[in-house]
Chain A
Amino acid sequence: MASRSGDQVDLLAADLTRRPVMKESAPEVSEDAMLVSAARDGDRAAFGRLYDRYARMVHGILLAKVPASEVDDLVQDAFLRALRRLPTLREDGSFGAWLAAITRNLANDYHRRSVPETQLADDTENEISPGNAVREHPATAAVILDAVRTLPDAYKETLILRLVEGMTGPEIAARTGLTHGSVRVNLHRGMQQLRAKLGPDFSGNRPEQEMR
């Protein structure tokens, strides 16, 4: 097959943008777009609704990457950064994925600026080693959060949104712009790895409960 020129590819890509990969429901995308448009025009209530809708996502992404004591301030910074850049957002319906990326960048900036990543767990005072942590420590929330934070990025972020922020899989997909399939895989693999880290004591020696 003959090669296409870059221009042709460009045209194809332009056409494809009309079919978003994200599986966010159409009414939600549409409502987001309206809220973004209103917020861009200075409507504080609209931005407040976006905050209400996305604060848990931003909080969860940050909690996966920075010390818990810093998260609340950084949540506000993420929304401030988003508000400042709102005029540059071309697809209003992609607000969630765009805000998630801003939040991840903010977390990266935090580490670049100040705190080595090895100090992530400083607010929990617990160290966890795979497999035996729960035997050595009581199963406190802090120990478990530390264990989640040792998972790969995709898994820890999705698991925190599910287990900490109380979002469902479909909600996580809708807010972050990930597909349902990606979220399912992240939850499934993340839970497998978390169980391995927490050890059998946490699950009450009931391995048969694994991923029914």
Chain B
Amino acid sequence: MDTGNDRTENQPIAEKNEYLWDGSGEPDPEIQRLEGLLGKFRHDRPAPTFPEIFAEVVRDRRWRFFPRRMRLFPVLATTAAVVAIVIATFFMNAKKPLPATVAGWDVSRVTGSPRIGSLTVSGKDGKSRLGVGQMLETDPQSRASLEADDTGQIEVDPSTRLRLLTMGASLKRIALDRGTIHTYIWAPAGQFVVDTPSAMTVDLGCAYTLHVDDSGAGLVRTSLGWVGFKLNGHEAFIPAGAACATRPKVGPGTPYFEDASSEFRAALTRFDFDDSTLQQRATDLAIVVSQSRPGDALTLWHLLARVDDQQRILVCDRLARFVPPPAGVTKEGILHLDQPMLDLWWNQLGFDDISVWRHWERSWSGATPPAQEK
């Protein structure tokens, strides 16, 4: 049961419940009770000493204290050894997967027989390396896990095909041709990009699941942080708990929270992607607007720029009912899609400061279109 929303639905989320946010304001007895009860699980152990690990770290760092001229010997010796090993390996077994020194992702077999190109990821430890330009494919019985220390981790579901396009210091880019990946990215925001046949996803510091079906249609579900979804100027940004679909040649649809009613979501999908008559689109929009709840401000805000002038009045009024526009935002400005006003209003929704997104949006506008199927 979701109680108490009616009284507060016109308040921006950011203004609500300061006690829950930082313990300030009037104490909330219910939250205090929860804190009291759950406090028994709180962490209370002192820091361990980690002695063995520190010995390893210090041993590794010891090279730094060698005089500069002495460092040359181990460097030269190591270089010579690496060159010799690479040459020998190339001639002895050119079909082996890439060595770990090559820029790429470490690939671990989770189940079945995932393949990199024509080679199966197997062996004693079930590990291999995905290099730039290579393709990883899982069949219906296979799963794989990718990890790069400075980027993140990607879980690859069965029946998935992806390619590594770039593995630069500041841009890691893969193409998901079909299937499903679950990503946990710790690289700085904006450095991890996934191209799909219907949109480009830009990680903004988050965890998300991305699915692409055989037609090239996609769906992203964000579980932490943010994802930007973009194609040919059509964009969406999706906070934690929300989802967004894409279609080839159309691009991203309108983001929505998945706890919205099925009728709301079905109407939104038709509105975004069906080749409907104007009357049908108006009907679908009316359903979306009438079924929307305060939490669907995310959807309504995105719709403002996706509807015609008449429909925009309907959407604008509904959004204003849930989140009153702040000072400096006029209805006339919103109906004319005044970008600064739209941004100011967004900032009232309680998700985040849109300047973060605008920064990335400007940077990525006109970036290369999604990768096409090979």
Contacts and interface: CB of A to CB of B under 8 A. Distances in A.
A128 interface: no
A166 B42 CA distance: 8
Interface of A is mostly: helix
B50 A79 contact: yes
Contacts of A98: 186
Interface in A160-212: 160, 162-166, 168-170, 177-182, 184-189, 191-192, 195-196, 199-200, 202-204, 206-212
A42 B53 CA distance: 10
A3 B50 contact: no
Contact of B50 (A44, A101, A177, A199): A44
A80 B50 contact: yes
Contacts of B366: 1-4
A47 B368 contact: no
A26 interface: no
Contacts of A199: 1
B45 A212 contact: no
Interface residues of A, number: 108
B274 interface: no
B125 interface: no
Closest 8 CB pairs of A and B: A210-B4, A181-B352, A207-B3, A59-B43, A88-B149, A42-B58, A101-B186, A14-B170
21 contacts: A9-B364, A39-B57, A44-B50, A47-B54, A63-B41, A100-B186, A140-B37, A152-B241, A155-B241, A163-B34, A166-B35, A170-B22, A179-B205, A179-B353, A181-B239, A184-B21, A191-B31, A196-B3, A199-B1, A209-B4, A212-B17
A160 B240 CA distance: 17
Nearest to B110: A112
A188 B13 contact: yes
A21 B5 CA distance: 31
A101 B28 contact: no
A52 B48 CA distance: 10
A121 B356 CA distance: 38
A114 interface: no
Interface string A1-35: 11111100111111111011110000000000000
A26 to B, nearest CB: 16
Nearest to A80: B53
B204 interface: yes
Nearest to B233: A1
